[in-house]
């Protein structure tokens, strides 16, 4: 009886270990690929070509509130998955597209839940830095200047537990300048 037990134990170990060894050997040059699918690896590098996820897209024109000093960007995002997801964080830095000057940061106020196949508008807000206000006065105070062309950089998005980072994301469009609050 002991020989049968030992033989069955060895057979069980071989049945489990042999395929796992074969898989590890096949992925020996890319062990991360064994656990992380290529779609997710692409997302972490900002490559959306192999993924059902698409980056949040700018929706409408950015807004500036003279009373609060806050600017707001709206993004449209669609959940491509078969289950509800949560966008836990979106943050980015804004730069002047013409002069490469840091203008401020934006972020969302709270996590957002998105149902299956649902599209939502996500609002991200921020305020201009003192350096930005100085830059507006020095470089964008001509008679026809009423807005500034911005780009996003260091975009960080956390969606469904996946953290994405892009060094330079998208054209942020033209944002109204804060003439009323900046120079009064």
Beta strands in 47-143 (DSSP E): 57-58, 63-65, 70-78, 85-96, 102-107, 112-114, 119-127
Question: Rg of the Cα trace of the chain?
Answer: 25
Express each pLDDT in 118-171 by its tens digit. Answer: 999 989 999 888 888 888 888 887 777 777 788 888 888 887 677 777 776 666
Express each pLDDT in 91-129 by its tens digit. Answer: 989 888 888 899 899 999 899 999 988 999 989 999 888
* 178 band by pLDDT with thresholds 50, 70 and 90: low
Indicate the pTM of the whole model. Answer: 0.63
**Selection from 72, 74, 49, 50 nearest residue 60 by Cα:** 74
């Amino acid at each position: 009886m002991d020989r049968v037990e030992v033989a069955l134990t060895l057979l069980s170990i071989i049945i489990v270990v042999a395929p796992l060894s074969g898989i590890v050997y096949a992925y020996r040059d890319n062990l991360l690929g064994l656990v992380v699918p290529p779609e997710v690896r692409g997302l972490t590098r900002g490559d959306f070509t192999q993924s059902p996820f698409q980056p949040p897209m700018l929706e409408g024109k950015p807004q500036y509130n003279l009373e609060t000093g806050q600017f707001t960007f709206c993004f449209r995002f669609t959940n491509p998955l078969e289950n509800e997801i949560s966008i836990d964080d979106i943050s980015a830095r804004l730069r002047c597209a013409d002069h490469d000057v840091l203008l401020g940061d934006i972020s969302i106020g709270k996590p957002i839940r998105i149902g299956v196949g649902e599209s939502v508008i996500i609002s991200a807000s921020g305020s201009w830095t003192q350096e930005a206000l100085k830059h507006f006065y020095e470089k964008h105070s001509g008679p026809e200047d009423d807005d500034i062309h911005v780009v996003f950089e260091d975009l960080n998005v956390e969606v469904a537990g996946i953290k994405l980072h892009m060094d330079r994301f998208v054209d942020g469009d033209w944002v109204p300048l804060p003439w009323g609050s900046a120079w009064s």
